[in-house]
Chain A
Amino acid sequence: MNRMINAYCIGGSIVNGWGTDLDIHWDNILRNTTSLKHYTLPDGTATYASFLDNEQWEELLTKYGHHYTKAALLCIEAINKATEQLTIDWTTTTIVLATTKGDIDLYATLKTINHNTLSFLPHLAAQLNVYYKPQKPVQIISNACISGSQAIQFGASQIRNGFAQTVIACGVDLLTLFTLQGFQCLKALSDKPAKPFDKDRNGVSLGEAASAIVLSNNPLPFRDKAVVACTHGITTNDANHISGPSRTGEGLYKAMMSVNSGMNQLPDAVSLHGTGTLFNDDMESIAMQRAGLEAIDCFGVKGAYGHTLGAAGVLESILSIYSLCFNIIPPTRGYSLSGTPALLNVAKAPVLKPLNTVLKCSSGFGGGNCALLFKKIND
């Protein structure tokens, strides 16, 4: 007899230019505001991006000390905020870190990246090992834009299978010219705040953030609100081009179908990846249609946060959980008129309705797709 243990979501945080108060984040999202600000690239091209300001960085340095790198500071702040009302036994806790580039800001100050071990991803993990002393070394997943979601899939499954009592999945990415000019050379940057699924969308906005979620075998409510579990997680790949999404949404469709069949019903809402690029949002709409989900209420938050890369999956999962807690589908900042081949039910204003399940989707470079299911547990 194999009694299923659930992976309960018992804490969470988001750290970005809006600060660290999750209730303020949620309020900003419901008011349909954005943290994206006008930003001029070195060649004079205008775009929008979301950064932490100098005051926030000074505060973090004062709080934790100058010996930590910026990415480590963001992770520590996110993890501390996510666990502040909880009693965490670090000797039975695993940390899974999700990041695409880690301490990328150190690249710019170096002549030879290779000899500067401070910029290595394992150095970021090492700093967290020193700070938290968890039961085993911090694990890093670097799987492009699905890193965060996959860290939750991996962490939740460790709990469901009895390998861990508590897993903290923390996503982080800083924003520097490395990424901004990279996306610019792919002609993927929007000249306005990203407009996911909108007919006038023309690219991504980028943002820096960290976000952490606490997964546990102990059924505590998420921030004293509702008991929510991550019940399913599936990763697929449909790469046909290393930096372009599938035209048919095959991988995302399969991931969605796998999660839906696991719970024998459709989700009440879908939190989409919604980058604001033509191809991604088209692909997602096709996958939604093929999975029979086009009428389901859906939303995307990258018009508010920008694409936070490795942090996105965690950050958007936290907002999905809040959506369940408050029974509100938040608006999609930047969306006004549909511009996708399949018409989706994208929320423009907060929609109040009873919610028991939210499907969270992520897709990324390298062809990865990850679908997670968050479910309210009403006992």
Chain B
Amino acid sequence: MIEMKKLEEVAAICLGFEGNVEHISDNLTELYRIREIKYPKYFKMNLLCKLGFIACDFLIEKHHELLAAQPDEVATIFFNKHASLASDHFHQHNLEAGELPSPAVFVYTLPNILNGELAIRYGWTGFNSFFVMNEKIEAEGIVQQVYLSQPFKYCVAGWVDTDLANETAIADLKLYKSI
């Protein structure tokens, strides 16, 4: 019999936005200013990373102890449906328009850059991954399975998706702590 380790949900945040990229980006930047975040690299991020970054700032506000965790005790696992499609679109557009491709756009054509941005910001060095799926429900069990593969003390996990066709962006993050 497998010994099921307990993961406790210690904080949660859900942010939802509607509108085109510029509009959602403005909303997020408004939050960035209201929350008095000082992190200039934020402005270089694509929408997916900005969204995950702001949501994570809320999560930490709800559970400050996360900042005191050892760097290798913190894992990040994200899920979404549209991967990095919005940035893919910009890069592809540049190529088709005959413009020079931009490194600043191309590096964001991978969804897991969000894990990287958070690792850079907070110094977290634990497990990190990005799963892509059709429905949020398919993510069920993944955090537990990762825990059994590679235990962590904390895990920032959840749905972070930007859907340009339907003009929505959702970050639904949870902070898990092993007990």
Binding site for B on A (CB under 8 A): 2, 100-102, 104, 107-108, 110, 112-115, 119-122, 125-126, 137, 139-144, 150, 153-154, 157-158, 161-163, 177-178, 181-182, 184-186, 233-243, 250-251, 254, 364-368
Find out whether the CB atom of B110 lies under 8 angstroms from the CB atom of A144: yes
User: With contacts A108-B92, A182-B91 known, is A141 near B129, CB below 8 A?
Assistant: yes
Pairwise interchain contact B101-A181, C-beta atoms closer than 8 A: yes
Cα–Cα distance between A243 and B102 once the two chains are bound (Å): 13
Q: Write the B106-150 contact mask toward A (1 if CB under 8 angstroms, else 0).
A: 111111111111011000111111111110001000100110111
Kindly identify which residue among A101, A163, A365 contacts B113, using a CB–CB cutoff of 8 Å. Answer: A365
Contacting pair B100 A114 (CB below 8 A): no
Task: Give chain B's interface secondary structure class.
Answer: mixed
Contact B120 A367 (CB under 8 A): yes
Interface size on B, residues (CB 8 A): 54
Q: Which of B108, B127, B142 has the largest number of chain A CB atoms within 10 A?
A: B127
Check A157–B85 contact: CB distance below 8 A: no
Is B85 in contact with A113, judged by CB distance below 8 angstroms? yes
Residues on B lying within 8 angstroms of A by beta carbon are 2-3, 72, 76, 81-83, 85-86, 88-89, 91-92, 95-96, 100-103, 106-117, 119-120, 124-134, 138, 142, 145-146, 148-150, 163-165
Residue among B109, B124, B148 making CB contact with A237, cutoff 8 Å: B124
In the assembled complex, the Cα of A150 lies from the Cα of B142 at a distance in Å of: 13
Q: Is the beta-carbon distance between A2 and B3 smaller than 8 angstroms? A: yes
- Chain A binding surface SS class: mixed
Q: Please tell me which one of the listed residues A140, A143, A185 contacts residue B101 in the complex, with CB atoms under 8 A apart.
A: A185
Q: Which of B72, B111, B133 contacts A236 (CB 8 A)?
A: B72
Instruction: Please indicate the chain B residues that have their CB under 8 angstroms from the CB of A101 in the complex.
Output: 88, 109
The chain B residue sitting closest to A123, CB to CB, is: B134
Docked pose: A158 CA to B145 CA in angstroms? 7
Determine whether the beta carbon of A120 is less than 8 Å from that of B145.
no
- Judging by beta carbons under 8 Å apart, are A137 and B138 in contact? yes
